[in-house]
Chain A
């Protein structure tokens, strides 16, 4: 971005108020995106480091030593505690910092005011606060990587007593305290942000923008914010109680513990309580990640198929059904904790029910492609990739939802493969799709398409290369979070599979450099974007390419139709902006 290009609109602003403490939703969206990308890079490097360890256990690597230093990787051989720490922070960063804040933060901020026809968020100040709390929590998370006893290492789920007792592992010392502080700020950021999204969508829709005319992106972001607002406080309480147990000697989660030669005083608590509290957020969290992803792809697929999204109302219905069900399935993470078998049966039932609205969404996506006129922009490629990963990952969920089958695959690599494909990979695909699609709106310039396509294929192929074979590792009984599999003769058959997966992980890492180059190069030197590059219907494409405060130079646009009038018979073009009035006798929406 050049200063001169924007000078006309921002003559009264200083550098600080424009780029740092900005209250403009567009700038905040970009801040979320770039911070998310930065954190994701850290998370990705971590994953490559621990993949190297799994593939070649006991061998020294200069690159491992380069990143971890002599303390944690003497002669390039990773310390087992550091291995666990890398897994923990990788999970935390990817789930929360990239796919919650990075994804929702970016696209909710960018798209909500634009697509509902509002000048900005309901509260610009709260929006700024939300970003800066997120930034502070990112900084603390990064700082925790450098403390002497190492970062938190009890897994991203931080189950006590492991996470509560520094005697249990070094990472449960200062590293864990910082993790909790960082997550507390993160939750505050999410909740302030979410509250703002809901208020904005409910109150600030422009004239004519009925709920039934909202693009599916906005529906998804609205429901996501509601889920977050209802479930994040529970994680906050879980984190606070853990903090109490760690620092003030309470016994919420701890009882009957003998460790490091000493019987501890804790009495009457239960670690299972933490698991319940954690997963009461933890499962809805999956949909906090997934729903925005589904919302973005719905929009992109409709635009590039040049066809209305199939079953608009069914799509909204499935979003609502998924959101409701997501609150009553958390126990499927706990089938083997010793909870009552009857409870296990109930959770099996509710969990498998989620497959129905999910299946409806997939069928609707596929049917949207039927008799379409598909344009394969990079965003569309990523969206179709997302259909594939959502199917591939979703289907293995049927296995994990079934308590009887879960006994065999619980906590094995099968689980890792499942959630990386259905949640991680799908959401990352959707996020890339979103960046390629709305980059012109964010930076006023176009990304290079060919680089985008190369980035897409390398990412999709290497992603499947890592996670597809991984299912088989889990089915053979290989547990996750093992520093090495070499202690069990049973697992020797899988040594070369681990090497294969690591090679693909490294390729996937390199593929992201293409994206980074494309992103930062095009931001400054890419070709100037036309106002409506993808010939889409939604309101954001009626705003000027150069960002201005208040988004629209004159009056706010008035909406006359739903967002999906693509290829409508009798229209001069294959798209009709939402601002175009209905003709006499023309029916709006589904018919």
Chain B
């Protein structure tokens, strides 16, 4: 490929050198007047616009035939169908406006190019005409706006009673989906709780204990190190800053214990999955989104759904999947078809590969799948190698 590109480059250079030489010679021959256009050139240039128009439409048709079937893949959500209807309405308007304006200006170019004896007509304005082409676009736009806002409201509709609560958690460079568990309530989370066993910073009795213990030992360690660094040095300042930082975190964590009695254990039965998430067909998925580090964006092209994940705030979106993965595989004739979630806001080096598969199940399959997933608490305990801890905490 490198050779090919080099060859193309060489050809390009030769081509340009030749073009330049030819033009130089011809311009010398033609008396070097560069401010007027000869009648012949003027006609040729006018007709080159006709070629352009034909070429442009040919390109349009070719691209539509070649790639059209692959764009806007079939919408797999309820509101997605309304969006696609709105798209179709817009395509009609756009293609009509595009065609009319292009054909008309090229027609004028062909009809009114300067030729021997031709003259322009002194026309400055026409109020009636201008009124028409202000009012017509305005009324067409009114239709688009009304339909557009209707569809937008549908996307931002209310949370259904039977909605499944899921959190999408983004970080460089992967996704975690958190299911609300048996209480259908997503437990509290806070970034101060994040550590190796609790990547989403979920707040439960156990994680509070773990973090307090962890921070206390880190602070003790830092205090020990502090004794061995020279006084009033840069090192000492650094250590003191770290200690202050950890103590602030500790205070925040203690505050959670005091203030959030009710929500404290809602995260216990939450279920965390990576790489692939399942959702049931025909039931609303109510998604809240968080980010650990930078802005990400959860984009699911088939569901016509997208929302940014912003550090420091929770964003939300909802949709109802309408076609299962199995049905879609049949429809597309592709046995390997999968719905995808991809990151659509630049987030760093591996942004291009921050993805997750989404499987739309029948309700029965979904219930089976979700039952198989372990809860956050059971996985946490397993990770810590403690099995009885859960009971002990419950007693406390």
B345:A411 contact, CB within 8 angstroms: yes
Give the Cβ gap from B3 to chain A, nearest Cβ, in Å. Answer: 9
**Which of B9, B73, B82, B112 is close to A372, meaning CB atoms less than 8 Å apart?**
B112
Known contacts A355-B137, A359-B133, A374-B46, A271 near B152 by CB under 8 Å: no
Supposing A259-B293, A395-B94, A472-B67 touch, asked if A348 and B148 sit within 8 A by C-beta, the answer is yes
A451 near B35: Cβ-Cβ < 8 Å: no
**Distance between A521 CB and nearest chain B CB, rounded to angstroms:** 8
B245 and A265 form a contact (CB under 8 A): yes
A553-591 contacts to B (CB < 8 Å)? 564, 566-569, 574, 589-591
* B41–A376 touching, CB < 8 Å: yes
Chain B residues with CB under 8 Å of A363's CB are 130, 133
Chain B residues with Cβ under 8 A from A405's Cβ? 83, 86-87, 90, 148, 151
A60 in contact with B2 (CB, 8 Å): yes
CB of A391 within 8 A of CB of B98, answer: yes
A482 at the interface (CB under 8 A from B): yes
In the bound complex, what is the Cα–Cα distance between A179 and B111 (angstroms)?
Answer: 51
B residues less than 8 Å from A448 (CB atoms):
23-24, 27, 34
Q: Which of chain B's residues have a CB closer than 8 A to the CB of A233?
A: none
- Minimum CB distance partner of A392 in chain B: B98
Cβ-based interface call for B348 (8 A):
yes
Contact A307 B352 (CB under 8 A): no
User: Is residue A169 contacting chain B, with contact meaning CB distance below 8 A?
Assistant: yes
Q: A446-B34, A489-B336 are in contact. Are A366 and B310 (CB under 8 A)?
A: no
For B151, list chain A residues within 8 Å (CB): 404-405
Closest residue of B by beta carbon distance from A376: B45
The answer to whether A398 touches B90 (Cβ under 8 A) is: yes
Counting chain B CB atoms within 10 Å of each CB, which of A56, A258, A567 scores highest? A258
**For window 301-341 of chain B, which residues contact chain A by CB distance below 8 Å?**
301-302, 304-308, 310-313, 315-316, 336, 340
Tally of chain B residues near chain A (CB < 8 A) = 128
Complex interface: chain B residues within 8 A of A464 (CB): 56, 59
Beta-carbon contact of A487 and B295 below 8 Å: no
Q: Which stretch, A21-29, A237-245, A527-535, touches the partner chain B?
A: A527-535
Check A80/B349 contact, CB under 8 A, given A62-B2, A449-B37. yes
Q: Tell me the nearest residue of chain A to B28, going by C-beta.
A: A527
Interface residue? B372 (CB, 8 A): no
Closest chain-B Cβ to A368's Cβ sits at a distance in Å of: 9
Q: Is the CB of B141 within 8 A of A356?
A: yes
Partner of A526, one of B34, B94, B130: B34
Q: A313-B125, A371-B123, A526-B34 are in contact. Are A265 and B45 (CB under 8 A)?
A: no
A552 at the interface (CB under 8 A from B): no
Does A256 make an interface contact (CB < 8 A)? yes
Contact residues in B for A387 (Cβ distance below 8 Å): 105
**What is the CB-to-nearest-CB distance from B203 to chain A, in angstroms, rounded to a whole number?**
13
- B240 contacts the other chain (CB 8 A): no
A263 at the interface (CB under 8 A from B): yes
Say yes or no: is A493 at the interface (Cβ < 8 Å to chain B): yes
Cβ contact within 8 Å between A270 and B113: no
Residues A494 and B70 in contact in the complex (CB < 8 Å), given A62-B2, A398-B144, A487-B353: yes
What's the Cα separation between A263 and B24 when bound, in Å? Answer: 66
Looking at B114-122, B254-262, B384-392, the stretch in contact with chain A turns out to be B114-122
Q: Which of B261-286 contact A (CB under 8 A)?
A: none
A117 contacts chain B at the CB level, 8 A cutoff: no
> CB within 8 A of B144: which of A352, A449, A533?
A352
A457 at interface by CB-CB < 8 Å: yes
With the chains together, A360 CA to B132 CA distance in Å?
10
User: Is A381's CB within 8 Å of the partner chain B?
Assistant: yes
Residues of A242-295 contacting chain B, CB below 8 A = 254-259, 263, 265, 268-272
* A395-B86 in contact given A448-B27, A468-B60, A488-B342 (Cβ < 8 Å): no
Cβ proximity bits A124-168 to B, threshold 8 Å, 1 near / 0 not: 000000000000000000000000000000110001011001001
In the complex, chain A residues 457-479 whose Cβ is within 8 Å of any chain B Cβ? 457, 460-461, 464-465, 468-469, 472, 475-477, 479
Q: Does B93 belong to the interface (CB within 8 Å)?
A: yes
Q: Counting chain B CB atoms within 10 Å of each CB, which of A307, A392, A407 scores highest?
A: A407
Q: Are A59 and B1 within 8 A (Cβ)? A: yes
Distance in Å: Cβ of A59 to nearest Cβ of chain B: 5
Interface bits B41-82 vs A (CB < 8 Å: 1, else 0): 110011011001001100110010001101111000000001
Contact in complex: B310, A337 (CB < 8 Å): yes
Q: Are B20 and A451 in contact (CB under 8 A)?
A: yes
What is the distance, in angstroms, from B301's C-beta to the closest C-beta of chain A? 3
Residues on A with C-beta less than 8 A from B156 are: 341, 344
How far does the alpha carbon of A338 sit from the alpha carbon of B123 in the complex, in Å?
A: 50
Q: Are B86 and A514 in contact (CB under 8 A)?
A: no
- Docked CA distance A168–B350 (Å): 11
A485 to B297, CA, bound (A): 17
Interface centre among B93, B126, B133, B297 (most CB of A within 10 A): B133
Interface centre among B52, B152, B155 (most CB of A within 10 A): B152
User: What is the 8 Å Cβ interface bit string for chain A, positions 96-125, against chain B (1 contact, 0 not)?
Assistant: 000000000000000000000000000000
- Chain A min CB distance to B378 (Å): 24
* Cβ-based interface call for B201 (8 A): yes
| CB contact under 8 A between A591 and B351, given known A76-B2, A356-B141, A374-B109 | no
Q: What residue in chain B is nearest A482 (Cβ atoms)?
A: B352
Q: Which of B70, B113, B312 has the most CB of A within 10 A?
A: B312
**Which residues of chain A have C-beta atoms less than 8 A from B8's C-beta?**
503, 506
Contacting B134 at CB < 8 Å: which of A257, A356, A403?
A: A356
Bound CA span A372–B310, Å? 55
Which of B36, B70, B155, B353 is close to A493, meaning CB atoms less than 8 Å apart?
B70
Q: In the complex the two chains form, what is the Cα distance from A63 to B8 in whole Å?
A: 12
Q: In chain B, what residue has the closest Cβ to A512?
A: B16
B33 within 8 A of A: yes
- Point out the residue from A369, A371, A469 that lies within 8 Å of B109, measured CB to CB: A369
Q: Say if the beta carbon of B102 comes within 8 Å of chain A.
A: yes
Interface positions, chain B 124-168, Cβ under 8 Å from A, are 124-126, 129-130, 133-134, 137-138, 141, 144-145, 148-149, 151-156
Question: How many Å lie between the Cα of A534 and that of B351 in the bound state?
Answer: 52
Distance in angstroms between the alpha carbons of A374 and B124 in the assembled complex: 16
CA A481 to CA B20, docked complex, whole Å: 37
Which B residue sits closest to A267, measured CB to CB? B312
Q: Hey, which bits of chain A sit against chain B, CB under 8 A? A: 52, 56, 59-63, 76, 80-81, 84, 154-155, 159, 161-162, 165, 168-169, 254-259, 263, 265, 268-272, 305-308, 310-314, 336-338, 341, 344-345, 348-349, 352-353, 355-356, 359-360, 362-367, 369-377, 381, 384, 387-388, 391-392, 395-396, 398-399, 402-405, 407-408, 410-412, 440, 446-451, 453-454, 457, 460-461, 464-465, 468-469, 472, 475-477, 479, 481-485, 487-490, 493-494, 497, 503, 506-507, 510, 513-514, 517, 526-527, 529-530, 533-534, 564, 566-569, 574, 589-591
Shortest Cβ-Cβ A-B pairs, 3 listed: A477-B301, A255-B312, A338-B315
* 19 pairs of residues in contact across A and B, judged by CB atoms under 8 Å: A61-B2, A259-B293, A263-B194, A305-B112, A305-B120, A337-B308, A345-B152, A348-B145, A373-B118, A374-B114, A405-B151, A408-B87, A411-B297, A476-B71, A477-B301, A488-B342, A503-B8, A533-B34, A533-B35
**Known A336-B306, A407-B304; 15 more pairs at CB < 8 Å:** A80-B350, A257-B312, A259-B172, A307-B122, A337-B310, A360-B133, A369-B112, A373-B114, A384-B105, A391-B102, A403-B148, A405-B87, A449-B27, A457-B52, A487-B352
